[in-house]
Amino acid sequence: MTDPAADPGPIAFIGLGMMGLPMASRLVAAGFSVRGSDLSEQALAAFAAAGGIVCASARTAAQGTTIVITMLPNGSIVRDALLGSGGAALALAPGSLVIDMSSSAPMETRQLAEELSAREVFLVDAPVSGGVKRAVSGTLAIMAGGDPAQIERARPVLSAMGSTIIATGAPGSGHAVKALNNYVSAAGLVAACEAVLIAEKFGVDPNVLVDVLNVSTGKNNSTELKLKPFILSRTFASGFSMALMAKDLRTAADLSEQLGVDAEGARDAATLWAEASATLGKAADHTEIHRFVAGRSVKPEQGG
């Protein structure tokens, strides 16, 4: 920690998966004392190897802390890890702060903020973008919703994990912006995959197509960082699962519905990714959307 005056004491970190482990490791490396919990023994062993303090439950991890970070698959798991039996919030003193860095559903986050507030515990939703690579380098983009004073309180901790922290407004707004970001990102990825398939069919080397896109107006995060490393190489190893992306798109589509905004693209994206996730299974990486789109693109032979 660069500023000892900003030391919040030990921090609890719940959820040490593909993202949580490198993020918690950044906190340890920055000098924070980090108490971690996860359901996976493997995740806990890796956390111990990174210098973290392994705890048996979320509640145990939160004991003696005033800041709890969650990095879990979705908002209902976050709620359970905080307020269920053995939940972290049960160990927190009034005035403590929960920072939910998962990609949770914004309306659920509003509700959670109210429930925590009844216990005099603050909530900042601070989801991230940038994937595993930027979690490892501590250069995530962080979008933070909640009371500005609590975002400032969280800033020294967030700064150890991210290089950009943008306050987005009221509680839940970080999660809203995150779901919308992933909608735009997923739409760009599907467009890029379709472009590869069409170019190949025309006889254009897909690597050449990517080179052209990346110096042209079609450039996006997927053309730059996903097509060659994960899709054309067929490694499909970005570290972000298809199931989680499908969840984010469902969140974006639900949000549009809840707000009465007719967003056909978001609805279609949620349907497409749900089908892809159901077809390719739990272990699929989100970049395998290319395989799904390719499978769908083959038109049946014309009869007679």
Strand ranges, E, within the chain:
11-14, 34-37, 53-54, 67-70, 97-100, 122-125, 128-129, 140-145, 162-169
Of 1, 8, 33, 39, which one interacts with ligand NAD (CB under 6 A)?
A: 39
CB of 234 to ligand NAD, least distance (A): 19
Q: Is 176 in the site for ligand NAD (CB under 6 A)?
A: no
Q: Rule CB under 6 A: is residue 162 a binding residue for ligand NAD?
A: no
Instruction: Give the contacts of 218 (CB within 8 A, at least 6 positions apart).
Output: 192, 195, 212
16 binds ligand NAD per the rule CB under 6 A: yes
Pairing of β 140-145 and β 128-129 = antiparallel
Distance CA 179, CA 202 (A): 35
Q: Which of 24, 32, 34, 37 binds ligand NAD (CB under 6 A)?
A: 37
Which residues, 6 or more positions from 234, have their beta carbon under 8 angstroms from its beta carbon?
none
From the list 30, 53, 54, 77, which residue makes contact with ligand NAD (rule: CB under 6 A)? 77
Catalytic residue from among 133, 178, 219, 226: 178
Residue 229 binds ligand NAD, judged by CB under 6 A: no
- Nearest approach, Cβ of 181 to ligand NAD (angstroms)? 9
Whether 34 contacts 13, CB under 8 Å: yes
Residue nearest to ligand NAD (CB): 17
Specify whether the CB–CB gap between 40 and 69 falls below 8 A.
Answer: no
Kindly list the distances between the CA atom of residue 170 and the CA atoms of 110, 113, 221, in Å, as whole numbers in the listed order.
9, 10, 28
Q: How many residues bind ligand NAD (CB under 6 A)?
A: 29
Query: Applying CB under 6 A, which of residues 27, 28, 68, 81 lies at the interface with ligand NAD?
Result: 81
Q: How far is the CB of 201 from ligand NAD (least distance, A)?
A: 31
Q: Which of 40, 137, 233, 235 binds ligand NAD (CB under 6 A)?
A: 40
Site for ligand NAD (CB under 6 A): which residue of 13, 17, 186, 285? 17
- Residue 106's nearest CA partner among 78, 68, 135 is 78
Asked if 287 interacts with ligand NAD (CB under 6 A), we say no
Rounded alpha-carbon distances, angstroms, from residue 259 to 27, 41, 252, 254, 266: 37, 41, 11, 9, 13
75/73 Cα distance (integer angstroms): 7
By CB under 6 A, tell whether 70 contacts ligand NAD: no
Report the residue number, 88 or 195, with the smaller CB distance to ligand NAD. Answer: 88
CB 27 within 8 A of CB 8: no
Q: Does residue 178 carry a catalytic annotation?
A: yes
**Interface contacts to ligand NAD, rule CB under 6 A:** 14-20, 37-40, 43, 58, 71-74, 77, 80-81, 102-103, 128-129, 131-132, 239-240, 244
Active-site residue set: 178
